A and B are shown apart, each in its own frame.
Chain A
């Protein structure tokens, strides 16, 4: 005979525990990020203890331990898949608790997963930041890893820990230890100053890369190194540039007498695709960075632009008005076999192929609004993800689960936003100035 139980959170947790115990071990504590979640998984991110606090150039280790936890908490919350529980709901762990936590307080607080760790200062001036993930119900350690960093690099350890947790709980690689390049905007719209800027994906470590003297647009990160490609109007010659942000070296791309624009890297970083105009026409060219060989890929009497390689490098999605209005097309990497893939109301532009290969993000323009949408490479399954005035310039997270874009409000204000593939977790990325044309860089090594 079953004893009736009241459906308090604790009782529900017990039921969940029973269900979890009954399931195969590998099915425990998993977040389905494909279909999204109705209720984010409650997780406890405990402050990272340090033993005896030691002063470092980045602050003392006790303060760093709290900040690391706060960053991990913010990263997980921003995915929309996790709900970090207020740290006041459980006691702060001591060093001895890190690898063998007492689980009861976390169960009581309703946490399903516990993220913990420690911060210690090493004799050589580096920090070691340990990262642990526990299943609160099974009381099992799921994963642990340590990161040794310079004090200045402590945020990266927090992002690496976030990636570890995200990876273990979702089965997908994370995207927290990565950077964003974008265009910082200031001044009135009729005399806008635009500068390239780079920052961590959470907005930290912000730096300007150009002075603002020349108009710059459309930066994109190389998927393999410290190089950015972008478009600059320097010397009144609008064209594509390469910029190594490690060395500061810059060079123009290709030999064209007219405008080149909308550059994107190939998945191996060795080739650029971009548009070149000719007498009011715009065609897509490829440019081999090593040999500097340039090849024209499209020849339609039309605006062909926004080219983006598939992750296997064999196909290219782009936009063209060859059929009368701006629409998406997929062609082979040599320019052959172009097929239209977007139909339906309105125009479609700025396509970008997901690094997973399964989807293409683009901008659907209908009813005077620009919305971020995704579509399969065969043209099926179009879904609108955002709804605002003008959302533009989509760019994928390294794991192909989140799309970064810029949002211009009707009053002209423009900011960076991200949206997950379910369309539920929309988030603003903080920037010191107004911002546009964001591009997500690869996961850092």
Chain B
């Protein structure tokens, strides 16, 4: 420790010597070593430097999504805390969704997985992915062609409802089946 400190002291002395006049009585000291110029201002939000606009969030195709929800009861299944297991209610909902999708072979579906706020950002992205996959796998087992389905996780970034309550958290732990046109 002492050695380290002494070397720091000596280094500091060296900087002072190289940076300033030796005669300390002459004031002010001449300009010492030049500091590097500040960084050039980067181009911000110039055309082409930002990822192209993204259709984030629900990309549903209006009336079809309404028909889907009407037929299946809901486009959303809920999960327990830190879980991606499908309970009996979720299975029934997904079964009804699969039944509707079987009659509409031209429709594609993206399953969005979400988490409540009670997990770290990174972990929740992975958890949302697990939930979306759990729903997708169940739909596939019910006969929906996997090629028609894709998954995306938003982690805790897009809660359905705001609030730090048990009820809000329960509604945010979800997988949403969103019909897409492409």
Given A130-B32, A365-B120, 10 other A-B residues pairs in contact with their CB atoms under 8 A: A96-B27, A143-B16, A147-B32, A213-B51, A236-B152, A241-B51, A277-B129, A305-B125, A350-B120, A393-B121
* Residues in A whose Cβ lies below 8 Å from that of B39: 226, 246, 444
Q: Measured between C-beta atoms, what is the minimum distance from B152 to chain A in Å? A: 6
Q: Mark A210-226, 1 if CB is under 8 A from B, else 0.
A: 11011101100000001
Q: Does chain B have a CB within 8 A of A247?
A: yes
Do A99 and B27 touch (CB < 8 A)? yes
A241 vs B26: C-alpha distance in the bound complex, in angstroms?
A: 54
Q: How far is the CB of A97 from chain B (nearest CB, A)?
A: 9
The A153-196 residues at the B interface (CB cut-off 8 A) are 153, 156-157, 160, 167-168, 171, 188-192, 194
Point out the residues of chain A lying under 8 angstroms from B152, CB to CB: 236, 238, 259
Q: Which of B38, B154, B162 meets A189, CB within 8 Å?
A: B162
A100 to B162, CA, bound (A): 61
Contact B158 A232 (CB under 8 A): no
Tally of B interface residues using CB under 8 Å:
72
Contacts of A189 in B (CB 8 A): 159, 162
List residues of B whose CB falls within 8 A of some A CB. 2, 4-6, 8-9, 12-13, 15-16, 19-20, 24-25, 27-29, 31-46, 48-57, 59, 84, 110, 117-123, 125-127, 129-130, 132-134, 152-154, 157-164
Report the minimum CB–CB distance from A320 to chain B (whole Å).
Answer: 10
Interface SS, A side: mixed
The answer to whether A146 and B49 touch across the interface, beta carbons within 8 angstroms, is no
CB pair A370 B134 closer than 8 Å: no
- The number of residues on chain A lying at the interface, defined by a beta carbon within 8 Å of a beta carbon of chain B, is 94
A426 → chain B, closest Cβ, in Å? 20
Task: Decide if B35 touches A280 in the complex (CB within 8 Å).
Answer: no
A238 touches B153 (CB 8 A): yes
A207 within 8 A of partner (CB): yes
Q: B163: shortest Cβ distance to chain A, in Å?
A: 8
Select from chain B the residue with minimum beta-carbon distance to A160: B35
